[in-house]
Structure 1
Amino acid sequence: MRRKGGRPGETGGHDAEAVEQVLDELYATPPPAFVSRREESAAAARTDGRKEDARRIHAARRPTLAAWAANLLTRARPEETRRFLELGQALREAHRSLDAAGLRELSAQRRRVVTALSAQAAQLADEAGHRLSQAAQREVESTLRAVLADPDAAGQWAGGRLEVSLTPPSVFPSDAAPAPARTEREPASRPAPHRAASGTRAKDELAERRRKRREELARAEREAADAGRHLRDARAEQADAEESLRGADVELARLRESVAAAEERLRAAREELGRAEGDRREAEERDRAAAHAVAEAEREARASARRVERLAGRGR
């Protein structure tokens, strides 16, 4: 989904609309290609002098496969996305009003729609060349249930930039509603005052212990959910780092091959140079020998010419 941003070409080397579009396209990119595409986009922004845009792009975290598949739904199925968000709002309102009949109808619809949409996400991922495992499909279903139960989760999913799967609350909002208080029949005979007070204190202490256990359980569930999110974030960050490391290894191997090829060319050139220097030395020796032969021939020619002149003088 496109987001509203600032005006293109605003001052300070920052184009909010452009960077939002880059981020939208980035989160539509399959996870294996995410890091390289992110680095290319960040480098392009830095080259254009848009340092803040480059920082925002570089800060984008690679989504898990399940989060990416959930993001695909918001882009490829906008009408289904809109209806699903409306279903979530209706469910939350029905829970608040405790409309039993509406709850039954909407709950059945919820199960059908979650199953159908998760299947569509798996199909979209498969068409993009990335088959979802059963575990990843369960994460997509978990995200969709969270969207129905939590308006904040609905907003995150509608943005189309999920990095990790969403976890639905342990109970739907209405499930936390207090149950009707139980009434106890008055005993036939009134207990003694001190026994009644003791029984009341025991009941109060039991109720307090139960309340504390419920609070501890709720706190533990929240901490477990937070720990799960942190674990998923850490794993996504690790996968991001591993992808960067693999890219660096590929580049290093390429450069090593280039250096090896250059060294081989240098070795061959040095051999050629050695041969050329040897040929030159041989040519110099031949030149010296030829010069010596020419000098000797010249001396012999001069001597012969003088003998000819002497003989010719005697013959007159």
Structure 2
Amino acid sequence: MADTGDEGVVEQAVADAARRLYAVPLADFVASRKALATEVKAAAGPAASKAVLALRKPTLPAWAMNLVPRGDSSALADLVGLGARMRAAQSRLDTATLTSVRGERDAALTAYVEAVAGAADGEGASLSAAAREEVRASAIAALADESASDALASGQLTRALSYSGFGEVDLSGAVGVTSSGSVVSVLPGGAILSGTSTEEAGEADDEEADDGDELTEEELARAVAEAKEAKARARAREKEQRRAATELAEAQAEMSAAQASLDEAEKAARAARRAVVDAQSRLDAARATVAAVDAEDG
């Protein structure tokens, strides 16, 4: 049995094992991990074996997402490329570009979710609506954060990702990592699936947008003001929606009360009609009796 203290050898052995492990069917993960740990122990020592055993089993959505970089990754490539462009635009407060790609963003998210669901179907698994939402949340996180994009492209996610709307995406426990904290395996192409690295894509986008010219102070101030105005409008719309929802709920409650009153009134009217019919019947009977008595007296 090998007993190497070479950290590079250990990490390479773990990376190779992880590349194989995260490609196996989900049901075979635990058994495959154990077998690979034994194999790695003989080749690179107990430290490597222990690291392989520590690799987490992915959730179903994560496993399904790991299939995409290993198959038809065009949807992932589009998502990665779009994310690089959006982050570059965000860094220079280019609200016009961010607004113009909304349709492309929605299409890219939908295409990626369908690609993941299709890959899962191809392996005999089916993603629930909740699982699809986790996939979509992971794609949104990849658009917002470069590290999340790399994790999505690595093919070794262990759980879905999420983005809170600010800051970096929390990747703790979300992707297989080495003892040094680096991703243990990056598939060929990885974060460069589109043929352009994230940094290069950002630079290319900068050149297309302003031919290398930086924003003037006036343009920057205008962009910030526009962003604030957009945020204020969004808040106003949200407030208006809440008010409308409250008014709708009140109107529905009033309608329900009115309907209940109407039902009671109709019930009372039916009872009154029955009482009238009964009274008429009694009156007719009384008249018949009187007529009979008059006939006998006559």
So what's the TM-score if we normalise by structure 2? 0.51
Q: Percent identity?
A: 31
- Inter-CA distance 71–129: structure 2 relative to 1 (3 Å threshold): same
Equivalent in the alignment of 1:58: 53
SS of the residue aligned with 2:101? helix
Deviation at 1:12, TM superposition (A): 4.5
Deviation at 1:172, TM superposition (A): 8.9
Q: Map Cα deviations across residues 166-207 of structure 1 (whole Å, 9 max, x no partner).
A: 0022359999x9736xxxxxxxxxxxxxxxxxxxxxxxxxxx
Equivalent in the alignment of 2:157: 162
Aligned partner letter, 1:111 = D
Aligned partner letter, 1:41 = L
Q: Map Cα deviations across residues 68-116 of structure 1 (whole Å, 9 max, x no partner).
A: 1111122213444333212101111222333333112212111101101
Deviation at 1:126, TM superposition (A): 0.9
Distance 1:41 1:172 in 2: 37
Equivalent in the alignment of 2:85: 90
Aligned partner letter, 1:90 = R
Equivalent in the alignment of 1:101: 96
So what's the TM-score if we normalise by structure 1? 0.49
SS of the residue aligned with 1:179? helix
Q: Is the 8 A contact 2:83 2:142 kept in 1?
A: yes
* 1:23 corresponds to 2:18: yes
Aligned partner letter, 2:228 = A
Equivalent of 2:27, from 29, 32, 38?
A: 32
Q: 5+ residue gaps in structure 2? A: 169-222, 230-298
* 1:121 corresponds to 2:116: yes
* 1:112 corresponds to 2:107: yes
SS of the residue aligned with 2:228? coil
Equivalent of 2:143, from 148, 162, 173?
A: 148
Q: Is the 8 A contact 1:85 1:147 kept in 2?
A: yes
Distance 1:115 1:49 in 2: 43
Q: Is the 8 A contact 2:75 2:111 kept in 1?
A: no
Distance 1:109 1:168 in 2: 19
Q: Which has the higher helix share?
A: 1
Q: Is the 8 A contact 1:75 1:160 kept in 2?
A: yes
Aligned partner letter, 1:136 = A
Distance 1:96 1:107 in 2: 17
Deviation at 1:48, TM superposition (A): 4.2
* 1:69 corresponds to 2:118: no
Q: Is the 8 A contact 1:122 1:132 kept in 2?
A: yes
Q: Map Cα deviations across residues 103-149 of structure 1 (whole Å, 9 max, x no partner).
A: 12212111101101110100101111111111111101110000001
Distance 2:10 2:20 in 1: 16
Larger RCO (CA under 8 A, 6+ residues apart): 2
Distance 1:95 1:10 in 2: 49
Equivalent in the alignment of 2:228: 179
Q: Map Cα deviations across residues 192-247 of structure 1 (whole Å, 9 max, x no partner).
A: xxxxxxxxxxxxxxxxxxxxxxxxxxxxxxxxxxxxxxxxxxxxxxxxxxxxxxxx
Distance 2:10 2:58 in 1: 24
- Inter-CA distance 171–41: structure 2 relative to 1 (3 Å threshold): same
Aligned residues: 171
Aligned partner letter, 1:150 = D
Aligned partner letter, 1:112 = A
Greater shift, 73-82 or 11-20, is seen at 11-20
